[in-house]
Each structure stands twice: as structure tokens, then as C-alpha cells.
Structure 1
């Protein structure tokens, strides 16, 4: 009888421990936050202006998030976080506040790189993942500073891959990651992580009618970040390839050929790669008449329906690569081999 009573007491005594034990998913989330939090920073964008009394005034332009890229002090964030500012402050997880300088920007992919001066041992670079390993439904963890609340964590899943989202200047950003992890103003530039704490994207924008999170957020994929950031560090800009042509704008194209796929070549730069490959532009005749040249329909395996398609197709390559242009010329379909060059 005493043994049974002791057994009951022991079971009852242990019950609270099992009832309040953390679930495996919770343990994982806590571990990821502890590892990644030191890599996440708070970015303040400041405009320094001259007052009528000739003294300088610092006017905050906005705030956002960012993350440590390497031990040389490079910080990655969104371009729209730093846009319009001429001075920047970076606050680390331990509340160390540092002045930062702008190293480079890529507005087309909404990426910017800042640099702070700090000893290497105090910097905690984030670990990048491989984009090819991502799957719809896998867990996502976002860390950022929404509404100035630093190091806020939210979780969700990858809702979709390969989304096309209109970026700054109206140019489409392709291959965006869609997540339902809560993303709000101030999260921009912060990391989107997988369950191993690796960087899979940079939280960039939300779809909302209220101004707050509606469970539809978008992140620039790590593949873009890993390719673009080293170029921004080295050159201050992205070295993009081209072939030496100008194309008609949508209105001009519609006037000439109506609604049809492809981009119409307007002019070909003499001596450029397109000219050497035999690409033809418009021929302007007397009386204001024009004769149609080539219509580009594809770059390698990538279809081209408009300027966005052509831009994003070229953006998959680097100067020196040779690509095949699928064109239509006088009702016939041809392929021309062209070597890409650096655009000025």
C-alpha cells in the first residue's frame, strides 16, 4: 500500500514538469534565435542638413533592420531602408551604436551594403543557406525591428517560391520567397531564416491593405544576396551584362507591332556584341516611315515578352558569357550567338 502511495506521489510530483516541457519545435526556434540574434542589427537612416543658422541638423529618414555579412564589418539591408539618407547608424544586439558608411546599392533588387568599423571578434556573420534546398511548407523564422521593437521574432512557413513582385522603379523582382511569418514596417532588411538558422532571404515587403502584416510577406532570395553583395563590396554597384542595343518602349512597340511577345530592337551600337552577331534595329526611311528590324523572343531557355523579361534574363549571366538570342526577323525565326559585355 505504501509503495502504491509513493508511486502516486511521484507521478503527481513529476506531472508539472512534463506538462510545461518545451515542444521540439519550440526548442528549435529558441536555439535559432539565440544563434542568429547577434547577427541582426537595427539601421537608422539620417539626413544631415544645414540649418539657416549654419549648423548641421540630423533628421531621421527612417529605420529598418539588417544583418552582419562578414567579419570585415559589412552589413546587408534593403536599399529602400537607406534611400534618401547621407548618414547611417547601426545598433548591434548588445546595443553598441556605430556610425556606418554606405558601400554600395542595387535598387533593382532592393539591396544595400553598409560598413561599420568594429573588431572582428565582436561581429557575428550570418550563415547563408542554399536556395535549391528550399521547399514550400518549410519553417521560416524572421528577426527584425518592427516599429522600432528590436530583435522581434516571428515564425511561419514558406508559402510560395518564385513570386514576381514589383520593386523600386516598377522593375519586377523575380524569384521572391513568399512567407506568412509576420512582417511589419521596420522588418525590412532583416533576415528570413530556416530551421537550421541559415539565411534563406531578406525580408523586403508585404502585401497589405491596412499597413500591417496580413500574412503575405516577400523576401529577396539568398541566391540574389550571395551574388550581388560581393559585387557591391568590390565595385559599389552591380556589374551587369548587356549586348549593346536599345529597345522600343511599350507604347512604341504597340504602335508598330500591336500586342505580341518579345522586345523590338530600336538601335544597335556600332562595333558592339549585338552588331558583331548581326542583330538589326529599325531602319528609318524618308517621310518618317520605319522598317522593322529584329524582335527578341528569348535568351537561352528564358522567354522574353517585355523589357522586364529581357533585363532579368541578362541578369542571370555575367559579362563574358555567351548566350543564344532567339529572334524573329521578317517572319522567320533565327538564333544568334552573342557574347555579353559590361554595361556602363
Structure 2
């Protein structure tokens, strides 16, 4: 009895762990599109140059590719360029081995948006969702928060080397917006350095560009503002940039996988139905041929017998009768062969058994051994 009580206690203790693991697997599955989107996010580094110090990191933000060779970030990230002609832009991708020079093409201080052209390198762009996102939709902020760099003790040199972007998750909050510019309020955690990075939905599509212009200057806020796609698209159009735009609803990757699996299962079932129908038709055709051969053969056999009776009066009766009897016997034999060699229904039976077999769980060897060793009460 003590043994069974111990087993039940162990099972109860393992339930939270199993539930946590399942929740973690589900969360990982829903984040796949966001993980893919993070590959299009870059660090936008400002590099200063002095005679004595040489090159040094002046500051950095985040950015995202919206078209081949074109990066969007915040205007306040590249604002120091106006202060000194010796400051240069470096685009640091999330992977690879080098950074690339960039040139500022356009800037809008009101919308806090800027457009940079990469002089080298290629980064896959993200599509922009221009529909209305759900008021409490799940979102992710992707970028390069400086607090993470400090926690990892990254040097200035390491900060301008390719590093994976940081992803944080939250949700849209109430649809509130700034009065002077169309923004999205959200709860995805951010810090200085996330400025200019994308706010994406569960499908990894840009719905906004994160901006810290609306946050307190001294402290990172719990809520963040992102410049919405309704501001981003006109800004890009003025710069004669045509990003990929979509208005379709978001279907996360796991749901797409389930839908594709269901469609594949339906297609396979239709194919099996066609095979079954073809099998039944082949069996019916074989039966019809066998019956026809049997009837014709029997008729010829009977006719041949009759012709043999009149061979004395009919000169060719013996020849015709023998030939008819031979052909009749051959047709009857052929009908028997065709009948027994029709496609068998055993194929369908074996297929049905094969589909049902996985549904019947067989006990493992260890479980069977445990049952054998269990003492009888």
C-alpha cells in the first residue's frame, strides 16, 4: 500500500513540470515566425572618428529591412549625424562576420522615422501589415537593447559585430496613440537600443517601428510606443520605396502547419478513395468479363454438342461442333481464371488494419515486466 501511495505522490509532483514543459513547447511553436523575422533586424551603429582616438562607438539603435538594401530606423537614432560630418553609419546584421556602411536617405522628425541605404550586403526584408491589428493582439519587439549589452559585458568592438537580436513579447494595449503621430501602445519589454527596431505580430510582420521618443528620458517605461504602419507606409512612399504590403489576417506558423497537415490528410484520403473506387470498378469489370465469357463459352459448348448430333446430315457439322466445343471450353476456363484473378479486397483489408494498428498501444517491455513483478494482493 505504501508503494502505491508513493507512486501517486510522485505523479502529482510531476504534473506541474509536465504542464510547464507543454506550455514552453507551445510558446516556442508560436514564436517561430518571430524568430525568422529577427533575422531581418539589424543594429544601427554610429561610428565617430578622431585623430587621437581613432574610430569609436558613439551610440546605437535598431533597424529593420523593408526592401532590398533599405533599412528603417528612428530619426532620433541618426540625429547625431547632423552634428558632425565625421560620424558614419554602420549596419550590423544579426549573423555573418562583418558590418556594412550605410547612407542616410530620408528622415522625418515628426514621425521619428529614418531610411538608410546599405552600401553593401543583402538582408531579407519583412512585409508590412497595414490592416488593423487586434486591440489586444500578441506582439514582439525585436532589437538590440543596451541593457542586455551591459549585462553581457560586451565591449564597444563586440557591439559592432554581428549578434542575434533580442526578442521580447507582450500585447497591444487599448489602442491608445500619441496625438501628434499615429502610434501603437504595447507591453513588450524594451530598453534603450530598441529604438528603430520593429514591432511585429505573431506572423513576424511589421506593424510598427519602436520609438522611445514618447518615453521618460530618465527611466525605461513599462509600456512602449511604436510608430504604426499607417505612418511608416506614407514615409516610405515619399522616399519612393515600395515595401511588401499585406492586409491578410495572421495565421501563426503552428496553425498553418496544422492546416497543411489536415489538407494533406484530406488529399491522401481522397487518393485512397479513388484507389478503392478503381479497385471496385476493376473487380466489377472482371466479374462482367468472366460472366460474359462463361455465357458465351457455355453457348458455344452447347452449340458444338448440337452440331455434333447433326454431323451425319451436315457435312461440316463435325468440324464446326469440335471447334465450338473447344472454344467454349476455353472461354469457360478463361472465365474461371478471370473471376479468381480479379483485384482482391484483401488489399483494402490490410490497409484498414495498417491504419488501425497505430491506434492500439502495445505495452512496452518494461511495463510488461513491471506487471509481472507486481505482487498479488
Task: Determine which of 63, 72, 76 is the counterpart of 2:72.
Answer: 76
- Mapped to 1, the partners of 2:121 and 2:216 lie a distance apart of 43
Partner of 1:26: 27
| Root-mean-square deviation (Å) | 3.4
Structure 2 residue matching 1:63: 3-state secondary structure: strand
Partner of 2:116: 114
Aligned pair 1:180/2:177, yes or no? no
The structure whose residues are more often strand, as a share, is 1
Aligned pair 1:125/2:125, yes or no? yes
Against the structure 1 CA distance between its residues 199 and 208, is the aligned structure 2 distance closer, same or farther, given a 3 Å change threshold?
A: closer
Contact 1:160 1:177 in 2 (8 A): no
Deviation, 1:19, is 5.2
- Mapped to 2, the partners of 1:207 and 1:231 lie a distance apart of 24
Deviation, 1:24, is 6.7
Contact 1:28 1:195 in 2 (8 A): no
Contact 1:206 1:217 in 2 (8 A): no
Deviation, 1:60, is 3.2
The CA deviation string for residues 224-243 of structure 1, in whole angstroms up to 9 with x for no partner, is 11221232256xxxxxxxxx
Contact 2:31 2:202 in 1 (8 A): no
TM-score, normalization by structure 1: 0.55
Against the structure 1 CA distance between its residues 31 and 56, is the aligned structure 2 distance closer, same or farther, given a 3 Å change threshold?
A: same
Against the structure 1 CA distance between its residues 231 and 57, is the aligned structure 2 distance closer, same or farther, given a 3 Å change threshold?
A: farther
Against the structure 1 CA distance between its residues 76 and 135, is the aligned structure 2 distance closer, same or farther, given a 3 Å change threshold?
A: same
Aligned pair 1:159/2:173, yes or no? yes
The CA deviation string for residues 76-115 of structure 1, in whole angstroms up to 9 with x for no partner, is 1011111122410111010431111111111221111111
Deviation, 1:27, is 2.8
The structure whose residues are more often helix, as a share, is 2
Deviation, 1:58, is 3.5
Task: Determine which of 179, 188, 201 is the counterpart of 1:194.
Answer: 201
1:272-291 correspondence to structure 2 within 5 Å = none
Partner of 1:37: 38
Against the structure 1 CA distance between its residues 136 and 18, is the aligned structure 2 distance closer, same or farther, given a 3 Å change threshold?
A: closer
Structure 1 residue matching 2:203: 3-state secondary structure: coil
Q: Which runs of 4+ in 1 moved over 2 A?
A: 14-19, 21-25, 27-30, 46-49, 55-61, 117-120, 206-214, 230-234
- Mapped to 2, the partners of 1:176 and 1:231 lie a distance apart of 19
Alignment coverage as a number of residue pairs: 217
Structure 1 residue matching 2:177: 3-state secondary structure: strand
Against the structure 1 CA distance between its residues 206 and 230, is the aligned structure 2 distance closer, same or farther, given a 3 Å change threshold?
A: closer
Q: Which has the larger radius of gyration?
A: 2
- Mapped to 2, the partners of 1:67 and 1:100 lie a distance apart of 13
Larger relative contact order (C-alpha < 8 A, sep ≥ 6)?
2
Against the structure 1 CA distance between its residues 143 and 58, is the aligned structure 2 distance closer, same or farther, given a 3 Å change threshold?
A: same
Unmatched 5+ residue regions in structure 1?
166-171, 235-344
Task: Determine which of 57, 64, 68 is the counterpart of 1:67.
Answer: 64
Contact 2:101 2:120 in 1 (8 A): no
Deviation, 1:162, is 4.8
The CA deviation string for residues 171-194 of structure 1, in whole angstroms up to 9 with x for no partner, is x32x21111111210000000011
The CA deviation string for residues 39-86 of structure 1, in whole angstroms up to 9 with x for no partner, is 01011012345x4xxx8943433100001111x310110111111224
Contact 1:206 1:213 in 2 (8 A): no
Aligned pair 1:102/2:104, yes or no? yes
Structure 1 residue matching 2:31: 3-state secondary structure: helix
Contact 2:63 2:196 in 1 (8 A): yes
TM-score, normalization by structure 2: 0.50
- Mapped to 2, the partners of 1:227 and 1:129 lie a distance apart of 13
